[in-house]
Amino acid sequence: MLPDKDRPGAQVGGGGGRESSEDPSVSLFREYLRIRTVHPEPNYEAALQFLDRIALELGLPMKRVEVHPGRVVAIMTWEGTEPKLKSVLLNSHTDVVPVFQEHWKHDAFSAVKEEDGNIYGRGTQDMKCVTIQYIEAIRRLKSRGTRLGRTMHLMFVPDEEVGGHKGMETFITHPEFQKLNIGFALDEGLANPTEAFTVFYGERNPWWITVKCTGSPGHGSRFVENTAAEKMRKIINLFLDFREKEKTRLDTSECFTLGDVTTINMTMVQGGVAYNVIPPEMDVSFDLRIPPTVDLQEFEAQIKEWCAAAGDGVTYEFAQKHMNQSMTSTAESNPWWRAFSSACGTMNMTLKKEIFPAATDSRFIRAVGIPAIGFSPMNRTPILLHDHNEFLNERVFLHGIDIYQCLLPALASVPALPEEA
């Protein structure tokens, strides 16, 4: 999969142009990486203008739908020969997470390509690569005169990296979303350092919770009883003891992946006004990711027990609490999965099925009853999303276009389902 380091004519550096030896798809990918759709102030308009240009090149209509002031969902549509059948959605998000430039070997938005073909930039894995791979696969198919049966929509959404509230989570309730008549969706996945390709059929539910501990205030020179800090210590111990048990389950099981266990991480602590004042209230916040196999009502009951055990005046509230546990069937009886896995089989791809450990827009898609698969065709690649020096090798990137060029016609050829007859 990796390129020869001495391949003649390989372009290096972060310049805006390209040598004739560079594949135009790679040049387009690098151009997209240079658009600073980075939080907290993503330049979405530049990305939309980029996509407008591509839609014109492909001869595909593109619609803009503003779902929140300054937040636009763009939809590019390739109409199929059987437009009355449910469509296939190719979803991607345009935003990327912030960078700490001092930890990067190259400017994170210069899209430098080194001699070995590694392209560095924020979004190379998450998920500007997939956006361009969708586009270039369709460009190739159209250039060969291919016509697909089912209509295919390419959707580009904002704000996925900040919770989705101004992107997909809002758009799924919009009338324009209903008009798309989606039957199946592809969304992002993760890289895999092995030969296998990871496929995600479900996601853990993210819960962001703050536990408020109230207690007796007083002077810092005294042994005040029933303080907020004592209760907070008990809460922290209870949460992190559970964390350790889940970590042990993951470490000792040959069958579990990260998506099969619950992670708990303490992320914020607040409280206090001065060194010598015992505060009446202290708060501690946790990030929880809960597999769809866990009974969520029972789990919240456990949290209530922990708060009661910590003492009186201990309460909790959620900043985020996702309860949908929908999973996409990977049984051969599912025609969408059968089309996906069969196409991968013709390419001799090894698939590794998992629960996604974090959160993507797929959770909102599944929540409205649409089966979705998380898939980024990046094998033999270290997982570097949100990390320093995020990169993707150009040969891996180009092979991903080949994969989608085979996958998309297979998905668009799924015969009419019983409910479509």
Domain with CATH 3.40.630.10 in the chain: 24-203+327-420
Q: Is 126 a catalytic residue?
A: no
Fold of 24-203+327-420: Aminopeptidase (3.40.630)
pLDDT, one tens digit per residue, over 255-306 is 899 999 999 999 999 999 999 999 999 999 999 999 999 999 999 999 999 9
Angle, CA 183 vertex, CA 188 and CA 369 arms, to 5°: 80
> Which CATH number describes the domain made up of 205-291+293-321?
3.30.70.360
Q: Is 244 a catalytic residue?
A: no
pLDDT interval class at 21 (50, 70, 90): confident
Helix extents (H) in 96-143: 128-143
Residues 339-353, buried b or exposed e (16+ Cβ, 10 A)?
Answer: bbbebbeeeebeeee
* Residue 180: partners with Cβ closer than 8 Å, 6 or more residues away: 75, 87, 89, 153
Task: Give the C-alpha separation, 40 to 54, whole Å.
Answer: 26
Bridge partner list, 287 = 208, 265
Q: With contact defined as beta carbons under 8 Å apart, do 388 and 117 qualify?
A: no
Domain with CATH 3.30.70.360 in the chain: 205-291+293-321
Smallest CA-to-CA distance from 359 within 291, 297, 285, 410 is with 291
Q: With contact defined as beta carbons under 8 Å apart, do 102 and 168 qualify?
A: no
pLDDT, one tens digit per residue, over 158-215 is 999 987 678 999 999 999 999 999 999 999 999 999 999 999 999 999 999 999 999 9
Q: Which of 126, 136, 159, 160 is catalytic?
A: 160
Beta-strand pair 205-214/281-290:
antiparallel
